Amino acid sequence: MSVQNGSQRPPRMEDVAKRAGVAIGTVSHVLNHPHKVRPDTLERVRSAIDELGFVPDRRARALAAGTSSVIGFVVVDLSNSFFLDMARGAEQEAQKHGMNVLLANSDVQAEKELVYMHLFDEERVAGILLAPLPTNADDVLSAGRWGRDVVVLNTVPGETDACCVTANNELGGYLAARHLIDTGRRALAFVGGPFSLSPVSDRFRGVERAVAESNGHVSLTTIKTANVQEVDGRKAGRQIAALDPGELPDGIVAAADLVALGIVQAFRTDGGPRVPADVSVIGYDNNRAAWDSDVPLSTVAQPGEEMGRAATRLLLEEIRSPGEHRHQRLHLEPTLIVRQSSTR
Amino acid sequence: MSVQNGSQRPPRMEDVAKRAGVAIGTVSHVLNHPHKVRPDTLERVRSAIDELGFVPDRRARALAAGTSSVIGFVVVDLSNSFFLDMARGAEQEAQKHGMNVLLANSDVQAEKELVYMHLFDEERVAGILLAPLPTNADDVLSAGRWGRDVVVLNTVPGETDACCVTANNELGGYLAARHLIDTGRRALAFVGGPFSLSPVSDRFRGVERAVAESNGHVSLTTIKTANVQEVDGRKAGRQIAALDPGELPDGIVAAADLVALGIVQAFRTDGGPRVPADVSVIGYDNNRAAWDSDVPLSTVAQPGEEMGRAATRLLLEEIRSPGEHRHQRLHLEPTLIVRQSSTR
DNA sequence: CACAGGTATTGAAGCGCTTCAAAAAGTAGC
DNA sequence: GCTACTTTTTGAAGCGCTTCAATACCTGTG
């Protein structure tokens, strides 16, 4: 069991074969097609493996067999739980198929993204999942043509042909606004920014659509923020609290939970409208901080795990039938989660 | 540049050699010891590599050379930024030495921890960094004796002999309390829990030590919470706010930033003491949410990146000089960060 | 111009495994 | 006991690279 290693080097298949009194090919069969080996031989080889503490060398296996069982996942920002959810989903799906997922954190650096893509390529992983810097997707994909199958998450590659899986932010915005309208709100405000971030502008478009559907019965104002952190929300909250009573919105869609949290906090501190009595507030992301905040926050949950699973399914399909595989663009739907902040 | 792949298979060194009109060994030299190759040959081979889009196979290289340039990092919980910091640090240090770090998220599951340790072992990575389930460290390390060098982070392995790098939580608690005392606070309260978590109880011990040093001039009360989330903090905050004015603490050490945030919020909402005028509050972790919260929170920053770097240094040293390496136990120091919540 | 002492290049052996055609061992039927 | 199969086992070839001893190619000298 334990590797005593009387000799220096770790045991190889040859050692196992010798000890079990079989040929090297038989040991290989025990590892890969145990059902083709006679039970007593199987037993003998397995004991030998245990006794020697033999650990097969994956590099050699992969090299000889021309296959790999690891999937590489290059993640733009692991500190964002959305991406970590994707990783979880990917792993679940991979595991079902006997594969493993290894993560590389590119940490929002284009350069590291390239380094890791190259690393996985050289490692001849079975396939690569890539959640890229949005600005960078095509560069990464085209640079070198990698040779490995790649599925892109959270970004639609422009020119390059590849499967991709994205979240429908427009729909998320729509769902959020729709929910407020359905519960009787008529003066909506959207808070978020910068609009150059496509998730933000997509969510805004969804809100617009919901408002447009109301045929003029619902108004919409926009409050742009520099970013989507709590501090931005607080600032916007103070701004809103300072409005003339007649101009106060009665429903606020924030581009992110942190922003919503900031708004609620500002209202409370600076004597703004009460949540949810005077105004409903809904965020986006289903941030952990949102579900046990003081006033539990309604929100739109991103389909992170789902995206990871879907991407992995696509990747495996592509790997397995390179011939007939047609690239797909999946657009997954977020989920509305209603909590106290929008329940009057 | 791009892989046209007239033939099916990706180009190998042999193809490059043929195209450049050199022997296969020369191509290898170009990759590994370019200075030993005549400039014109170098140039010729490099063009051939580019033209064919040759990407060397790391598995084969590693197998032949008997070395690897990847370090595996098995992380117990990537959603905790402390561990992500370690990963960042590890990567920085690894990069300096031409190595790469691949992450595996065990997601607080003992089983997955084992799976990934085994995976890295079979992959014959150069070494393994392990931030384990605290309860599980020895099992993982002993099961199989892995054969690879392992450095443990954030946990001290019991029986098993290995390097480890931990954070000094006791000191962190001491620094926090000391800071409050130094700024004139005399009635301290520690808020946190559960005490079965060694980081919590260690921090508490540090607070006790600082108080003890004051020779009775400082009092300490303890408010136990179920967990270290914001909601726990809010609950504790309300509890404190409800105390008789004479019993109010004037300095609060929270076991985590989220707890501190909850306390501050509760005070504000429920008309508790003002922060920092009436009471100083200090948290722990240097959580992002803490540094741009409404009242910027003083805190104790964990040496996450530092731990990752140190662990990687130890690992590389162990890999490089297996003979003379002596296992070490590093205990790194946290840093006090003073912001508004403790500045009166 | 031949020769010693570099410097470059060569290619066969081997890293630890999988595969696959061929050989050996079983099994059944008569 | 022999034939005709079927199931197991065998081991050489090869996966794509690094290495290293051997060879070829350069200088610069005497």
The string of pLDDT tens digits covering residues B131-141 is 999 887 777 77
Residues in chain A with CB shorter than 8 Å from the CB of B150 are none
Q: Residue B234: closest CA among chain A residues belongs to which residue?
A: A294
Asked if the Cβ–Cβ distance from B58 to A124 is below 8 Å, we say yes
Asked if the Cβ–Cβ distance from A234 to B294 is below 8 Å, we say yes
- Which segments in chain A show pLDDT lower than 50? 1-7
Share of chain B above pLDDT 70, in %: 96
Per-residue pLDDT band at B291 (split at 50, 70, 90): confident
Asked if the Cβ–Cβ distance from A81 to B81 is below 8 Å, we say no
Report pLDDT digits (tens) over B61-93: 999 999 999 999 999 999 999 999 999 999 999
Q: Which of B55, B112, B118, B128 is most worth mutating to test chain A (most A CB atoms within 10 A of its CB)? A: B55
Given the candidates 3.40.50.2300, 1.20.1740.10, 1.25.40.340, 3.40.630.30, the CATH classification of the domain at B169-302+337-342 is 3.40.50.2300
Report pLDDT digits (tens) over B138-164: 777 776 566 799 999 999 988 778 999
pLDDT at B146: 66
Residues in chain A with CB shorter than 8 Å from the CB of B120 are none
Instruction: Count CB pairs under 8 A between chains A and B.
Output: 126
Nearest nucleotide to B15 (CA to C1') is D16
Per-residue pLDDT band at B57 (split at 50, 70, 90): very high
Q: Which fold has domain A68-167+305-333?
A: Rossmann fold (3.40.50)
Nearest nucleotide to A66 (CA to C1') is D15
Asked if the Cβ–Cβ distance from B123 to A81 is below 8 Å, we say no
- CA-to-C1' span, A168 to C17 (A): 46
Asked if the Cβ–Cβ distance from A63 to B60 is below 8 Å, we say yes
Answer yes or no: is pLDDT of B4 > 90.
Answer: no
Which pTM was predicted? 0.92
pLDDT at A3: 37
CATH of domain B68-167+305-332: 3.40.50.2300
Q: Lowest-confidence range among A137-141, B51-55, B97-101, B313-317? A: A137-141
Domain parsing of chain A, residue ranges: 13-56, 68-167+305-333, 169-302+337-342
Q: Which residue, among B297, B290, B241, B250, has the nearest Cα to B270 in the 3D structure?
A: B241
Whole-angstrom Cα distance, residue A257 to residue A230? 8
SS (H, E, C) chain A: CCCCCCCCCCCCHHHHHHHHCCCHHHHHHHHHCHHHCCHHHHHHHHHHHHHHCCCCCHHHHHHHHCCCCEEEEEECCCCCHHHHHHHHHHHHHHHHCCCEEEEEECCCCHHHHHHHHHHHHHCCCCEEEEECCHHHHHHHHHCCCCCCCEEEECCCCCCCCCEEEEECHHHHHHHHHHHHHHCCCCEEEEEECCCCCHHHHHHHHHHHHHHHHCCCCCEEEEEECCCCCHHHHHHHHHHHHCCCHHHCCCEEEECCHHHHHHHHHHHHHCCCCCCCCCCEEECCCCCHHHHCCCCCCEEEECCHHHHHHHHHHHHHHHHHCCCCCCCCEEEECCEEECCHHHCC
User: What residue type is assigned to position B85 of the chain?
Assistant: D
Answer yes or no: is pLDDT of B5 > 70.
Answer: no
- Could you check whether B68-167+305-332 and B169-302+337-342 share the same CATH topology? yes
B276: cis peptide before it, omega within 30°? yes
- CA-to-C1' span, B37 to D24 (A): 15
pLDDT at B292: 84
